[in-house]
Amino acid sequence: MKKIKYIITSALIAIIAIITTACATNTGNWTPPLVGPYAWIYNLFGHPLQNIMLHVSNLLGGTNGAGWAIIIITFVIQLIVLPLRLSSQSKMIKQQEKTKRLQPQLSLIQAAMKKNSNKQMQLSQLQMKIYKDNNMSMIGGMGCLPLLIQLPIMMGIYQAVAYSKTLASSSFMGISLSKPSIVFAVVAAILYLIQGYLSLIGISEQQKQTMLITVIASPLMTLVFSIMYSGALGLYFLVGGIVIVIQQLIATFILMPKVRADVDKELTKHPIKEVINQAMIDQILNESSDQMSQNKSDEITNLHEQLRKRNSGKQNRNK
């Protein structure tokens, strides 16, 4: 489940790479794209954000005005998507808690799959039945809407700076907003690493192993994107990292205990249904063994029959 979510998230983030790489051809050319998808993105997001940033920068004044404009825009966007992300995390925690209760049955299926690869299809169907009979989805809790909302904002901030000579020449705390910033990249990556560590608190060792890919990949991708592209995008990730740490603190220490209590109450009224047990697994595997033995027996019988016919033919020719 987590691996699927990681793959989807990675695919969505890859869109940023494609678009920002195309936009990165702007080296000293302040004319925005006029045709094609990059022009649409600029007209819908880049240009409006550019105007907002210039306006806020003029209001605040000073050399850090553009940077503060990015921070304000980022906080507003993050606050808008925060309820969606918390809702998604609540569903994911609920899914994890229910999956934990199903783990004895799921472990039987996984062990049987390792023992007999010929029964993969039948065992996979039983696995789906375990989820279905307990009113659960195998990919429940996945929520990519918050990321989808943020994608155009990320691209818009990049374009706003890339196609404005004023913004491109701006800096924040002495760090250029148009050039990659190691400082922003490292701080942002550390914040996402802290968020990943917090997400592992209070969960089982098996769930930790499943989540390890995401915990490592998230700060790594943040570091790579922040280093590859402008300081403006790095600042966006940094501010987003602060919000994401706060979100994870809420999820770990407030949402998780509440959801666990709700799941316990729910399962008291509607206990986990047993779909599979060891006796049923043994029967399935034995049926497979019996079938293989029967097939081997049939093969031996056929071989003997062929040998008898061959010998009979030789005898007739000798006569």
Query: Cα(61)–Cα(59) distance, rounded to whole angstroms?
Result: 6
* Structure token pair of residue 67: 């940077």
pTM of the model: 0.73
47 closest CA partner among 164, 147, 171, 177:
164
9: left (phi over 0), alpha (psi -120 to 50) or beta: alpha
Strand partners, 176: 171
- Backbone Cα Rg of the chain: 29
Helix (H, G, I), strand (E, B) or coil at 171: strand
Q: How far is CA 133 from CA 43, 91, 262, 295, in A?
A: 49, 18, 19, 35
Q: Please, are residues 120 and 109 in contact by the beta-carbon 8 Å criterion? A: no
Query: Cα(136)–Cα(248) distance, rounded to whole angstroms?
Result: 24
Q: Please, are residues 170 and 164 in contact by the beta-carbon 8 Å criterion? A: no
Strand partners, 172: 175
Query: Cα(112)–Cα(285) distance, rounded to whole angstroms?
Result: 8
pLDDT mean values, one per 10 residues, the chain (319 residues): 49 51 49 78 86 87 87 88 86 84 86 78 84 76 65 80 84 89 94 92 79 84 86 90 93 91 87 84 70 52 59 55
Can you give the pLDDT at residue 143?
Answer: 57
275 closest CA partner among 263, 266, 284, 287:
284
In terms of DSSP bridges, do strands 175-176 and 171-172 run parallel, antiparallel, or are they unpaired? antiparallel
Can you give the pLDDT at residue 1?
Answer: 44
* Cα–chain center distance at 110: 23
